[in-house]
A = this chain, B = another copy of it.
Amino acid sequence: MTQTPAPARARRVQLVERVLEANDAIAAATRADLVGRGIFALDLIGAPGSGKTALLEATLQALRERPGAPTPAALVGDLATQRDGDRLARWCDQVVQISTGQGCHLEAGEVRAAIAELTLDDVGLLFVENVGNLICPVGFDLGLDATVGLFSVTDGDDKAAKHPYLVEQADLLLLNKVDLLPYVRFDRELFLDDVRRLHPEVPVLEVSATTGTGLDAWIAWLVSRVRGAT
């Protein structure tokens, strides 16, 4: 077995830089707005099927049942369908589905346009569920406070090592579907060793959106960040 590096992608570097500059300017405006309103906002990034929407459903439901919890709003990106938006709208009054067409990640302009459709007066917590993709959403600043990376035990214990940029950027990592650990091959120590090597300080919470395992710790993290942001 041999290993070959990718050919230089230099011809595209300048183009990418211009796109990112435009994106960052919009993200900065969004950040100023959200900080001014005291809203804590996070970018939820995970593979297709890692359970982003299921986690947000369970989270929104739990927040609704918790007296004094911050009022949430949610944006959700997908190439096609508004199924995720419909799922979240069962638990949250303020939801906007962003249809990216062939776009493999959310960009600051899409998020800013979607935020403009929300009524933010009472909102303290904004969830942005990115397009299902472990690669492209990383590095596109959306003007939010935190990046939360979501992995799933059914996706294998090698996914942190294979997606170092997400692990390095994340403020929190969630390992989802731990209820399925008895049925799949997943070496928790291998996964955590890769995480520690790439980003020693990042907290990792094990959760199951289906059974509710670990949701209390996740919601405690959210509430602590909302308090910190206001």
A residues touching B (Cβ–Cβ < 8 Å)?
A: 1-7, 9, 12, 15, 19, 47-50, 78-83, 85-86, 88-89, 95-104, 109-110, 113-114, 117, 131-136, 139, 152, 154-156, 158-159, 161-165, 177, 180, 183-184
In the complex, A181→B104 CA distance in Å? 28
Point out the residue from B9, B98, B102, B183 that lies within 8 Å of A4, measured CB to CB: B98
Whole-angstrom CA separation of A83 from B190 in the bound complex: 13
Q: Tell me whether B81 and A1 are in contact (CB under 8 A).
A: no
Excluding A4-B113, A7-B113, A79-B135, 17 further A-B contacts by CB distance (< 8 Å) are: A1-B82, A1-B89, A3-B97, A4-B99, A5-B99, A6-B110, A7-B110, A48-B159, A48-B162, A80-B162, A81-B158, A81-B161, A104-B136, A131-B135, A132-B162, A133-B135, A180-B180
Instruction: Assess the B155–A177 pair: CB atoms within 8 A.
Output: no
Task: Give Cα A7 to B136, complex, Å.
Answer: 18
